[in-house]
């Protein structure tokens, strides 16, 4: 089985911390207890207050990406194959390890390549169903959504709009049939992302990137009915509470779900005048909105409440609204740099993580 330990977990939101390796001899954070992270007293702002201490679903150290995938992503990938919308976020300050965690390197593949490998493994092991996979790749920069699978000039001239029902127009969705074809699509997206910006480092730390895989499946039967492609279904229909999304086409029910893997913009506070511009403001607003949306969803689920969820306050949450509402499985991996120089930003990341728990 490829089910992870957190599959079927009662909690709506799985919140974990990943601490990247440090070059300094004395990290500022104590992680001697399994799910706990606390600040060593000498790094606290004042000796008068107790240094902050936090508990999470997982706190993971090290440079190995496999344990991270197994602990906080695998279950969500399985859930997506079973028909549930699933979203995995990487949140943290620039250089804390978001991209390392999600994309990884040749030696240490991250969540995205591991997820895709598992998706095709799952399909091979499920011969009773047939699957249709489509992927799209988007970048949200300054509250504008760019299609990374379209040529940069085209996507700049005609950014993606979110229509009333949540459908994205225009959007390229590529049908993928193998690990190799997903890899090609991802590489094309990365190339377009680099070409689109004059200052790639700056832009990549200031934008969100969203990789989406739409999974459609149905029981295999003798009678072939028309394939439900050609129209857009990615989690855009109202969710069916309490179970996977089912739709009947040609007499056989089609199950649709979306797996979204999101590398968020750097969470750091604006430090220079240049950063205190429009962009910095947009990023903070959209990360703030993401925090309140996930926080409200978790709270609604835990307390069986129905509080208003502020999806409309940012493009990112608006884009994810069809996936987030209903019975989505959400995993938020917060990455921190344990160095003393980053204590303020790491504390703010841990507070964000605590707020959405």
Query: What is the binding site for ligand ADP (CB under 6 A)?
Result: 20-21, 63, 92, 94-100, 205, 335
Using the minimum distance from each CB to Mg ion, give the nearer residue, 99 or 317. Answer: 99
Residue 92 interface partner, choices Mg ion, ligand ADP, none, CB cut-off 5-8 Å depending on type? ligand ADP
Question: What whole-number distance in Å separates Cα of residue 346 and Cα of residue 352?
Answer: 10
# residues contacting Mg ion (CB under 5 A): 2
Least Å distance, CB 201 to ligand ADP, is 9
Pairing of strands 208-219, 129-141: antiparallel
| Contact in structure between 343 and 43 (CB atoms under 8 Å) | yes
> Encoding tokens for residue 22?
């440090």
Q: Restricting to residues 153-172, name those near Mg ion by CB under 5 A.
A: none
Q: Restricting to residues 86-145, name those near Mg ion by CB under 5 A.
A: 98-99
Least Å distance, CB 345 to Mg ion, is 15
Residue 233 interface partner, choices ligand ADP, Mg ion, none, CB cut-off 5-8 Å depending on type? none
Distances (CA, A) of 211 to 287, 331, 344: 18, 15, 30
Question: What whole-number distance in Å separates Cα of residue 102 and Cα of residue 113?
Answer: 8
Burial label, 202 (beta-carbon count in 10 A; 0-12, 13-18, 19+): middle
DSSP class of residue 327? Answer: S
DSSP 217-240: EEE--SS----S-SS--TTTSPP-
Least Å distance, CB 125 to Mg ion, is 33
Least Å distance, CB 265 to ligand ADP, is 10
Residue 260 interface partner, choices ligand ADP, Mg ion, none, CB cut-off 5-8 Å depending on type? none
3-state secondary structure of 321: helix
Closest-by-Cβ residue to ligand ADP is: 97
| Contact in structure between 158 and 200 (CB atoms under 8 Å) | no
Using the minimum distance from each CB to ligand ADP, give the nearer residue, 61 or 247. Answer: 61
Residue 244 interface partner, choices ligand ADP, Mg ion, none, CB cut-off 5-8 Å depending on type? none
Residue 83 interface partner, choices Mg ion, ligand ADP, none, CB cut-off 5-8 Å depending on type? none
Using the minimum distance from each CB to Mg ion, give the nearer residue, 39 or 332. Answer: 332
Can you give the length of the chain in residues? Answer: 357
Least Å distance, CB 290 to ligand ADP, is 16
Residue 20 interface partner, choices ligand ADP, Mg ion, none, CB cut-off 5-8 Å depending on type? ligand ADP
Using the minimum distance from each CB to ligand ADP, give the nearer residue, 50 or 105. Answer: 105
Nearest CA to 211 among 77, 11, 108? 77
- Under the criterion CB under 5 A, does residue 257 sit at the interface with Mg ion? no
Least Å distance, CB 113 to ligand ADP, is 14
Least Å distance, CB 190 to Mg ion, is 12
Least Å distance, CB 101 to ligand ADP, is 7
Using the minimum distance from each CB to ligand ADP, give the nearer residue, 173 or 345. Answer: 345
Which stretches of 220-315 are assigned E, i.e. beta strand?
245-249, 252-263
DSSP 193-221: HHHH-SSHHHHHHHSEEEEEEEEEEEE--
Q: Which residues of the chain form contacts with Mg ion (CB under 5 A)?
A: 98-99
């Amino acid at each position: 089985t490829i089910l992870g330990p957190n599959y079927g977990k009662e909690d709506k939101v799985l919140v974990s911390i990943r601490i990247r390796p440090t070059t300094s001899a004395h990290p500022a954070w104590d992680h001697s207890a399994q799910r706990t992270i606390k600040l060593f007293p000498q790094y606290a702002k004042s000796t008068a207050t107790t240094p902050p201490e936090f508990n999470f679903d997982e706190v993971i150290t090290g440079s190995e990406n496999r344990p991270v995938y197994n602990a906080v992503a695998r279950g969500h990938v399985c859930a997506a194959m079973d028909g549930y919308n699933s979203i995995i976020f990487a949140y943290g300050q620039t250089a804390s390890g978001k991209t390392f965690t999600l994309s990884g390197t040749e030696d240490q593949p991250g969540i995205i390549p591991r997820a895709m490998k598992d998706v095709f493994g799952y399909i091979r092991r499920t011969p009773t169903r047939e699957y249709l996979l489509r992927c799209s790749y988007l970048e949200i920069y300054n509250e504008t959504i760019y299609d990374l699978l379209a040529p940069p000039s085209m996507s700049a001239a005609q950014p993606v709009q979110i229509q009333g029902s949540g459908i994205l127009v225009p959007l390229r969705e590529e049908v993928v049939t193998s690990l190799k074809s997903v890899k090609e699509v991802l590489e094309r997206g990365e190339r377009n992302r680099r070409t689109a910006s004059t200052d790639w480092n700056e832009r990549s730390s200031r934008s969100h990137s969203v990789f989406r895989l739409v999974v459609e499946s149905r029981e295999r039967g003798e009678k072939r009915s028309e394939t439900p492609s050609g129209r857009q279904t990615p989690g855009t229909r109202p969710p069916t509470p309490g179970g996977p999304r089912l739709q009947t086409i040609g007499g056989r029910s089609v199950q649709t779900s979306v797996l979204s893997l999101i590398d968020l913009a750097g969470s750091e506070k604006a430090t220079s005048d240049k950063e205190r511009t429009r962009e910095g403001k947009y990023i903070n607003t959209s990360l703030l909105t993401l925090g309140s949306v996930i926080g409200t969803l978790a709270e609604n689920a835990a307390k069986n409440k129905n509080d208003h969820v502020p999806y409309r306050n940012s493009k990112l949450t608006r884009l994810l609204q069809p996936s987030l509402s209903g019975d989505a499985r959400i995993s938020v991996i917060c990455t921190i740099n344990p160095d003393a120089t980053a204590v303020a930003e790491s504390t703010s990341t841990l507070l964000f993580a605590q707020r959405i728990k």
